Amino acid sequence: MKRLLVIAGSDSGGGAGIQADIKTAAAFGLYTMTAITAVSAQNTTGLSALKLMPAGLVAAQIRACRDDIGIDAIKIGMLGSASIIRAVAREIAVLDVPIVLDPVLVSSSGQRLLAENAIATLKTLLLPLASLVTPNLPETCALLGQHPRGLKGRVAAARQLIALGAEAALIKGGHSHERILRDVLVWPGGSLCVQGARLTSRHTHGTGCTYATAIACGLAQGLELPAAVGQARSYLQGAIRTAPGLGHGHGPLNHAFVPTPRTPRRRGTA
Q: Which of 204, 217, 230, 247 is catalytic?
A: 204
Q: Which of 172, 210, 217, 251 is catalytic?
A: 172
Question: In the annotation, is 23 catalytic?
Answer: no
pTM confidence score = 0.93
Question: In the annotation, is 24 catalytic?
Answer: no
Q: Which of 208, 218, 230, 247 is catalytic?
A: 208
Among 252, 192, 203, 195, which residue's Cα sits nearest to residue 225?
Answer: 192
Question: In the annotation, is 206 catalytic?
Answer: yes
Question: In the annotation, is 172 catalytic?
Answer: yes
Q: Does residue 226 have a pLDDT over 70?
A: yes
Q: Does residue 175 have a pLDDT over 90?
A: no
Question: In the annotation, is 207 catalytic?
Answer: yes
Q: Which of 209, 213, 230, 247 is catalytic?
A: 209
Give residue 204's pLDDT band: very low, low, confident or very high (50, 70, 90): confident
CA dist 5 and 121 (Å) reads 21
* Radius of gyration of the CA atoms of the chain, in A: 17
- pLDDT tens readout for residues 19-52: 999 999 999 999 999 999 999 999 999 999 999 9
Q: Which of 13, 15, 77, 206 is catalytic?
A: 206
Q: Name the class of domain 3-241.
A: alpha beta
Q: Where are the alpha helices (DSSP H) in the chain?
A: 17-27, 55-68, 82-92, 119-121, 137-144, 150-163, 207-220, 225-241
In the chain, pLDDT over 90 holds for what percent of residues? 77
Q: Which of 32, 37, 140, 207 is catalytic?
A: 207
Question: In the annotation, is 140 catalytic?
Answer: no
pLDDT at residue number 192: 92
CA dist 42 and 99 (Å) reads 27
